[in-house]
Amino acid sequence: MTRDEQKKQAAEAALEYVEAGAIVGIGTGSTANHFIDALARIKNRIDGTVASSEASALRLKAHGISVFDLNSVGDIPLYVDGADESNQHLQLVKGGGGALTREKIVAAASRKFICIADDSKLVDVLGAFALPIEVISMARSYVARQIVKLGGTPALREGFVTDNGNLIIDVRGLSIVNPPELERQLNNIAGVVTNGLFALRPADVLLLGSEKGVRKLGG
């Protein structure tokens, strides 16, 4: 079974959390795309969606699924999204696709966050995947210098602009022993919009596709 088939397996399993008549928060990336495609089969049972990126909004609309502005809906019962890494506490690294800020907003506005992934994403300690940080353009050098002081090695994601018109700095070499503390620390640097640690608001359930079927953590 390929990694992509495992992602699809996890995405299909997330369908059972979708409640009739509800608004569903939708993540970004290849695993979230599998979920969108699966959701299309039951689109008449839901009220609509809130998307965490322009790319996901386009895919949802192509399936004829309604996409609402977050400001026009209240709290969302369910958010489904992938991740680049998860630890056993369901604290995540996200943002490989550069949609971390909107993903974090939709996750924060959602009562339940189901993370879907292939089982290679489960790690003992976060940080092997470079941590994405969205920054305001004028602050990129300043933020990079602050990251070096914290022990990280920053690299600007070349040729990439987020849906919010900002830049991404990918950071390697940070020791992520206390994810909530580092998440706060990075967010406190002037010019940082948000960082890809999802530890203050971790996932509630992690569905991992694997050779042996879907494994569930949390919930």
* Least distance to ligand 5RP, CB of residue 140, Å: 19
Residue 205 amino acid letter: V
* Least distance to ligand 5RP, CB of residue 166, Å: 13
Distances in Å between the alpha carbon of 7 and those of 17, 63, 122, 202? Answer: 17, 20, 13, 19
| Residue 99 sits in the site that holds ligand 5RP (CB under 6 A) | yes
Q: Please, are residues 157 and 97 in contact by the beta-carbon 8 Å criterion?
A: no
| Residue 106 sits in the site that holds ligand 5RP (CB under 6 A) | no
| Residue 194 sits in the site that holds ligand 5RP (CB under 6 A) | no
Find the binding residues for ligand 5RP in span 13-52 (CB under 6 A): 27-31
Do strands 23-26 and 76-81 pair parallel, antiparallel, or not at all (unpaired)? Answer: parallel
| Residue 81 sits in the site that holds ligand 5RP (CB under 6 A) | yes
Q: Is 181 one of the catalytic residues?
A: no
Span from 12-20, 54-62, 79-87, 155-163 in contact with ligand 5RP (CB under 6 A): 79-87
Q: Is 97 helix (H, G, I), strand (E, B) or coil?
A: coil
Q: Please, are residues 165 and 135 in contact by the beta-carbon 8 Å criterion?
A: no
Number of residues lying near ligand 5RP (CB under 6 A):
17
Q: Please, are residues 68 and 23 in contact by the beta-carbon 8 Å criterion?
A: yes
Span from 16-24, 57-65, 75-83, 162-170 in contact with ligand 5RP (CB under 6 A): 75-83
In DSSP terms, 133 is beta-bridged to 169, 195
Catalytic residues: 103
- List of residues contacting ligand 5RP (CB under 6 A): 27-31, 81-84, 94-100, 103
